[in-house]
Structure 1
Amino acid sequence: MGSDTIRFIVFMVVLSLLSSIVVANGGSLGRYNSRELNALFRYYANRTLANHHRTGTLSRVSLPSNISGMEVSVVRLRGSSLWGRGINSKFVKIPPSVRTSPYVKRLAMVYDNLGNWSSKYYHVPGYSLVSPVIGFEVYDYTDLTVGNLALNVTGGSISIRFPYLKTKEKNVTRLKCIGFRNNGSVEFKNVTERDVCVTENTGHFCVMIPYSSPPSSPSMPQKKGRVWKWWVIEFGLGAVGLAVLVTAGVAVSRWWRKRKIKDMEKESDSSVALDTFWVRGDLKMPCASMIRTQPALEHDYVP
C-alpha cells in the first residue's frame, strides 16, 4: 500500500471521528430555547385577542402544527378585577389583592401547558420531570411584545395545580416544586399537596423528583452518564468509519496494482521479446538474438 493511500485513510478516519463528535455534542446540547417559545406564545396570543374582544373570557390560542401537543390560552382582564376578585383558571389560581408591577388598567394573561414538550425546554440536573411544565405570564394588553409584568401578591400565594403526576412516589417530601424565572434563575420549593405548588410570581413551574441515588453533586451522575454514552457512540462510529475506510483503501490499492500490472503486460506485448540465456547455471538473463541494424562502412577505403 502506497504512502498516498495511507495518508488518505488517516485523513478520512480523523474526519469521521470529528464528525461523530460534533453529532454527539449536538445531540447532548439539543435543548430548545424557552425564550423564543414564550415570544411565539405572545405573538399568537396577541392575534387571538385581536379577534376576541370580550373581557374576562378565556380564549384558546391556535398554534402551528409543528408544536402540536402544547396548550395555550389567553384572557383579557382589568387591573381592578384582578385586585378585587383574582382569577381561577384550569391550572392556576390567583387570589384577590394582587397588582401588576408596573400597574396597568388592562392586562392580558397567557397560560401555557407544554405537555410532552416539557423536558425539551426545561430541565434540572439530578432531577427527573414527573409533571408537565405549566406557565403563566402577565402583559400589558396594549402591547404584548413589550415584556411581562411582575405581580405583587399581598392576599395569599398563587397556587398551581398539576392534572397528574407521572410517578408512583408516595413520599411527598421527595417531590419538589421547581420554578423557572424569566431571568434564568431556578426556585426549589416543597409541594403543599401531592399535585399543588405555590408561588408569588409568574413563570413556568413543574414537579420533579431527585434521582433514586443522588450523588454529592446533583449534576455529576447525569453528566457522567452522558459523557460515557457519547464516548461509546463516538467509539462505535469511529470503529465503523475506520473499518470502512481501511476496506476502501485496500480495494483502491489492489485496483491500482492490477492496473499497473496490466499496463506493464500491455507494454511488454507491444515490444520485441528478448531471448534468455543462463549464466553460471543459476542466473537467467535476457539477450538479443539478432542485431537489428547491420553494420555498414561509411566509405570503401580500406587501409
Structure 2
Amino acid sequence: MGSFSLCTSKISIIIITILLLSFHQSYSQPIQSTHLLDLIIRDYTIRNFKLNLNTGTPQKIHLPSNFSGIEIDTVKLRCGSLRRYGARIGEFHIGSGVTVKPCPERVMLVRQNLGSNWSSIYSTGYNLTGYNYQLVSPVLGLLAYNANPDGVATNPFEVNVSGTDQNPILIDFLNNKASGNTNPSTSPKTITKNSSVLCACFTSNGNTTFSDQVSPYVCKGTRQGHYALVMTIEARRKDDDSGDGGMVTSSTEVSGGGGRLSRWKVVVGSVIGSGIGAILLGMLVVAMLVKVKKKAEREEMERRAYEEEALQVSMVGHVRAPTAPGTRTLPITADDRYKNSHLIN
C-alpha cells in the first residue's frame, strides 16, 4: 500500500513538472497573436493589482523578463466618474461624455506601450506592408475591464469605452512628462510636413483604419483599442536616408479628469519670471537714479563751498592777483617801542 502511494506521488510530480515546462515553453516562444498578448497582459495586471490602492490611484505593472520592452499602467475608476469627467492615463486622454457599455460600478483601465520590440506583431498580424505602410511609433493600447469595489473581478470581461467626433479619445504620442524625455527621435518638423504619416487604428476584428493626425503626434479615436503612427515605405526610406527618420517614443502619466497641466505651468512660470525680472530691472534703474542725484548734489555743494571761500582779486600793476585781508600783526621797530613806553610813563 505504501509503495502504491509512493508511486502515485511520483507520477503526480512528473505530470506537474511536464505541465510547468510546457507552460514556460509556450510563454518563452514568440507570441504572434495580438489577442493572446492582450489576455496575457490582462491576467498579469489582475494578478499583480494592489487591492489596497484607492480608486483613481495609478499603478505600474511589471511583466516578466520575456516581455521586456512592454510598459503597462492601470487605474481603477468609478464608471459614473469616467463617463462624466473622463480620465487621463499615459498617452490616452478620454474626454468627458464617453459611453461605457456595460457600466459596472468600477472600471479598470489598462494602458499598453508595446515598445519597438513587441509592436512588430501588429505590423505582421495586420499586414501593414500590404498597405505599403511601416510603423514610426510604438503601438499604444487602451483596454477596459470590469472591476469590483474591493478589488478586481474574478471573472473579468472587456468593457467598451467609446466616444464621438465631438468628444473623442485623443492619443498624444509625445506625452513624455514622466520620464522627462523631451527629444523624440523623429522631429515634429518631419511629421508636420510629411502628409504620408497617418494614424492607424487596429480594430479587434482584424481590420486597420487610417486617418489624419489632428495635430503633430496626436491622433483621434472614437473607441478603445490599439493605435500607432505609420508612414509609407517610400517616405520612410527617404527620411532614413536624410537622417530625419526614427521611431517616436512615449512614456507614462496617469491622472483622472483629463487635461494638460504642463501648458498652464509654463504660462504661470513665465509670468512669475517676467514679474521678478521687471522688479529687479526697476530696482536697478532706481539705484542708478539715486546715485546720479547724489553725485549732482555733492558737486553742487563743492561748487558753493569753493565760491564762498574764494580769495579777493586786486590789480598789482597790470596783473590780477588774489589778495587776503590784513589780519597779520604789523612789525614794530625799536623806535616805536621807545615811543610807546615813553607815552605810557
Indicate whether the TM-score tops 0.5.
yes
Q: Structure 1's 179 and 111: CA in aligned 2 closer, same or farther, altered over 3 A?
A: same
Q: Could you tell me whether the CA contact under 8 Å between 1:172 and 1:194 is conserved in 2?
A: no
The answer to whether the 8 A contact 1:157-1:199 is kept is: yes
Question: Pick from 167, 171, 177: which aligns with 1:156?
Answer: 167
The amino acid that maps onto 2:139 is: V
- Normalising by the residue count of structure 2, what TM-score does the alignment of the two structures yield? 0.50
> What is the aligned partner in structure 2 of residue 86 from structure 1?
86
- Structure 2 CA distance, aligned partners of 1:35 and 1:102? 21
State the match for 2:228 in structure 1: 206
Instruction: Give the gaps of 5 or more residues in structure 1.
Output: 1-29, 215-303
Q: Which protein is bigger by CA-based radius of gyration?
A: 2
**Cα 1:51/1:136, change in 2 over 3 Å:** same
The SS at the match of 2:159 is strand
2:219 partner letter = C
Q: Give the match's secondary structure for 1:83.
A: helix
Post-superposition Cα deviations, 1:196-220, rounded to whole Å, max 9, x if no partner, equal 0000101110000012179xxxxxx
1:97 alignment partner in structure 2: 97
How far 1:171 moved relative to its partner?
Answer: 2.3
Q: Letter of the aligned partner of 2:159 in structure 1?
A: L
Match of 2:111 in 1: 111
SS at match of 2:49: helix
Q: Work out whether residues 31 and 37 of structure 2, in 8 Å CA contact, stay in contact via their aligned partners in 1.
A: no
What's the CA shift for 1:47?
1.8
TM-score computed with the length of structure 1 as normaliser:
0.56
Give the match's secondary structure for 2:54.
coil
Q: Distance in 2 between matches of 1:132 and 1:176?
A: 14
Q: Residue type matched to 2:100 in 1?
A: T
Asked if 1:140 corresponds to 2:150, the answer is no
Residue correspondence of structure 1 range 1-303 to structure 2 within 5 A? 32-123=32-123, 124-125=128-129, 126-142=132-148, 143=153, 146-153=156-163, 156-163=167-174, 164=184, 166=186, 168-212=190-234
Question: Which moves more between the two structures, 115-124 or 89-98?
Answer: 115-124
Q: State the alpha-carbon separation in 2 of the partners of residues 67 and 41 from structure 1.
A: 10
Q: Distance in 2 between matches of 1:212 and 1:47?
A: 44
The 1:135/1:53 distance shift into structure 2, 3 A limit, reads same
RMSD: 2.2
- Which string of whole-angstrom CA distances, capped at 9 and with x for unpartnered residues, describes residues 95-127 of structure 1? 111131112121100001011124421111211
Conserved? CA contact 2:70–2:118, under 8 Å? no
Distance 1:65 1:145 in 2: 27
CA distance 1:104–1:116, change in 2 (3 Å)? same
Percent identity over the alignment is: 28
Give CA deviations for 1:204-241 in whole Å, capped at 9, x if unaligned: 10000012179xxxxxxxxxxxxxxxxxxxxxxxxxxx
Unaligned residue ranges in structure 2 (runs of 5+): 1-29, 175-183, 237-345
Task: For 1:47 and 1:156, locate their aligned partners in 2 and report how far apart those are by CA, in whole Å.
Answer: 33
